[in-house]
Structure 1
Amino acid sequence: MEQKALDAWTDLVLAYGRITQAMEREMNRSTGLTLSQYDVLLRLAEAPGGRMRMSDLATSVVYSTGGLTRLLARMDRAGLVERVPSPDDRRVVHAVLTERGRERLAEASRVHLAGIEHHFARHLLPAEAGPVADFLQRLHEAADEDGAGREA
């Protein structure tokens, strides 16, 4: 492996960790939400009807099913989501975005986008945006193909 590739990996891991820690603090301080809760609200808002099967949601937010169940229990108690059994299959549970969840998502999105701008986008030169986006998309797709992030 080339040293430059190893250095790039190290910088990616360190930068990701530090940026997400900073954004987690900002999100929590401004909205009372965690980044994981924000991610769940965003995925549900993007889903048809604001609902997703729990298993599909766990995959989309890269969470274990058990971890997502605990997270959604807290979000359900806060009125952000509801867990609704499928009328067709009692083994299937859907996570459904509530109106309160939509309102909190709108508030949190402003904080999240400001964090992306401050911690990431402002450091990206205009000429770098396309190549970096292309590389990260290839990396994401390769990870999906390799099964990275799936439970064993």
Structure 2
Amino acid sequence: MGDTRWLSAEEMRAWNAFLAASALLNRQLEQQLKDDSGLSHPQYEILVRLSAAPDGELRMTELANGLINSKSGLTYQVTQLEKAGLVRRRTCPTDVRGVYAVLTDAGRRRLEEAAPGHVAAVRAHLIDVLTPEQITAVADGLGEVTARLRALGR
């Protein structure tokens, strides 16, 4: 323990602010999506990723990597979306192990209905609270954290 680099008071303040803000923001966004569209936040993000993909489809492994989600967690969420008719799955013709998630027309409509309220909530609870300089600092700082953690490959 003698080699431990303990957090300074300012570093501890930053860490605690990050923990509280991320938990509270996630709670607000989750509730807003549930109330407005019946979607969970992970389900909304799946629909967003699929809508941005060519032909509205992605391999499940690519989708899991992009969402920073486990394959089993993604499978559960896609199953729920599939039951609701918002997503369908298709097998890869060149790789029997490959499965694609495909956005349906109903999924695209649900996303189009959910997006305005979600964006308004993100703006109200995060973007409009910060100055442009703070937004840049958050994006740069958390972007660096994300890049370093992705490089670890875990």
TM-score normalised according to structure 1 size: 0.92
Query: How many Å apart are 1:49 and its aligned residue?
Result: 1.4
Which deviates more, 132-141 or 34-43? 132-141
For 1:91, what is the secondary structure of its paired residue? strand
Whole-Å separation in 2 of the counterparts to 1:12 and 1:115 = 18
Query: Where in structure 2 are the equivalents of 1:70-149 lying within 5 Å?
Result: 70-147=76-153
Query: How many Å apart are 1:47 and its aligned residue?
Result: 1.4
Query: How many Å apart are 1:145 and its aligned residue?
Result: 1.3
Q: Which runs of 5+ in 2 are unaligned?
A: 1-6
Whole-Å separation in 2 of the counterparts to 1:137 and 1:118 = 22
Query: How many Å apart are 1:34 and its aligned residue?
Result: 0.7
- List, as ranges, runs of 4+ consecutive aligned residues in structure 1 with deviation greater than 3 Å: none
Query: How many Å apart are 1:19 and its aligned residue?
Result: 0.9
Structure number, greater radius of gyration: 2
Q: Give the paired residue count.
A: 148
Whole-Å separation in 2 of the counterparts to 1:133 and 1:8 = 15
Superposed CA RMSD: 1.2
Q: Taking every aligned residue pair, what percent have the same amino acid on both sides?
A: 35
The equivalent residue for 2:36 is: 30
The equivalent residue for 2:59 is: 53
